[in-house]
Structure 1
Amino acid sequence: MASQDSLSPTAVPGGRQQRRREQTRARLIDAARTLMAERGVDAVGLSEITEAADLGAGTFYNYFQSRDEIVEAVAEASVESLGQSMDALTAEMEDAAEIYSFSLRHVVLKAITDPLWGWFVVRLGVAHPQLIEILGPRAARDLRKGIDSGRFTIPDIDVATSCTFGALLATLHLVLSSKTEVHADELFAQTMLCMVGVPSAEAQEIASRPLPPLPEV
């Protein structure tokens, strides 16, 4: 017969206590993302996060050791899932220009449809390495594929990656601030395709192609 310990919530994967811990952690992450989107990453205190999550002040340290750790968790929860979905979408695509275009368009559209997410990404910005660590290797990979296939003309991948991120954050800020949403994703993708050496007319055609939905991952 199984012992009482083996039947306790802490002993069973997915037990009640584990689910409660996951729910509490998710509340902290959601509260942090909302506050950081509204005011900026560095303007939010840890006590404000626990208050917004309706939790005791000491609860934070049961789940995170520092502000940097929760920022990493928020970035991962907010951005990594999008990156994985874009990976799945473009995995079988051959044309680097189409991959680059579709990925950029989906990020812009994500910000338009979920402004809270968009503001978090804008305010996280390039000053925090989490965003670069999540999306940087993906952007560099797509740019290198464009170079290797002869699709892109780029003198330096690192500089091109930085230009992509800088332009992306500025565009998201513009879209979120001015509500300039009509074809913003296509215009941004077209501009960035031109930046990497795709002829203007072709860049316009690629950027205006029907955009496949992101798969669930």
Structure 2
Amino acid sequence: MASDRRSRKAEATRTRLIGAARRLVAELGPDAVTIAQITSAADLGTGTFYNYFATRDDIVTAVIQDTVESMGQRLDAMTADMSDPAEVFAASLRQLMGTAVSEPVWAWFVVRIGAAHPALIDILGPRATRDLKRGIDEGRFQIENLPMTADVVFGSLLAAIHSYLSSDRQGDQPAQYAELNLRMVGLSRADAAEVCRRPLPHLPELKEAAR
């Protein structure tokens, strides 16, 4: 029992550090955050930090892994039963942009790390490539250069999320963004619009995605 309590306390402390680091990275960017800022925001001592992470870079990497990989798993679960590759691609883009409204700290975090850290593409890139390749294989997409197309999608995603966070957010910008990307990969205007009008499924929490 005592070991269970210690384990829960340790996990709660680590979660506090991760949460504080995520908020600071969203505000300042990954290269500007210091250990002192993280421990202060978490209301923990510096010694406690070193019980969990050896360096500042270690916690930044952990935050990226936790934040981005969890989103990737949630998107995988959300789209698992979709039969149309175009819907899989569009729904993922709509959710990624839509999360900027419901979770602005997450969105600013993605914008900040996207410009300075390769982890975003390292984690979500293979998923995007997989979904685009499926569209090619099933005849839904017309793509001549798959790696370049994936790069364009990610570059425009970061720019679109930043613009979305900084705008008045009128209209369904996530659907508009997804529609533009569908047209880029070969769908007609009418087909892309129809796909993006489909109901957007619930984005499951990580514990739901793991079931």
TM-score (norm 1): 0.90
Among candidates 169, 186, 190, match of residue 201 of structure 1:
190
Matched, 1:144 2:133: yes
Among candidates 197, 200, 208, match of residue 211 of structure 1:
200
| Residue 24 (structure 2) aligns with | 35
| Residue 4 (structure 1) aligns with | none
Q: Size of the alignment, in residue pairs?
A: 206
| Residue 80 (structure 1) aligns with | 69
Structure 1 gaps of 5+ residues are 1-6
| Residue 45 (structure 2) aligns with | 56
TM alignment of 1:91-106, pairs within 5 A:
91-106=80-95
| Residue 177 (structure 1) aligns with | 166
Change (3 A) 1:181 1:42: farther
Distance in 2, matches of 1:164 and 1:69, equals 28
- Note if contact 1:104-1:185 (Cα within 8 Å) is conserved in structure 2: yes
Distance in 1, matches of 2:136 and 2:55, equals 40
Matched, 1:166 2:155: yes
Distance in 2, matches of 1:69 and 1:199, equals 45
- Note if contact 1:105-1:188 (Cα within 8 Å) is conserved in structure 2: yes
Cα deviations by residue, 1:183-203 (Å, 9 ceiling, x for unpaired): 011001001101111111111
Cα deviations by residue, 1:145-192 (Å, 9 ceiling, x for unpaired): 011111111111111111111010000000101132520110010011
Identity of aligned residues (%): 52
- Note if contact 1:126-1:132 (Cα within 8 Å) is conserved in structure 2: no
Distance in 2, matches of 1:116 and 1:211, equals 22
- Note if contact 2:26-2:109 (Cα within 8 Å) is conserved in structure 1: yes
Among candidates 15, 21, 36, match of residue 10 of structure 2:
21
| Residue 96 (structure 2) aligns with | 107
RMSD: 1.3
Distance in 2, matches of 1:104 and 1:188, equals 8
Bigger Cα Rg: 1
TM-score (norm 2): 0.93
The code of the aligned residue for 1:183 comes to D
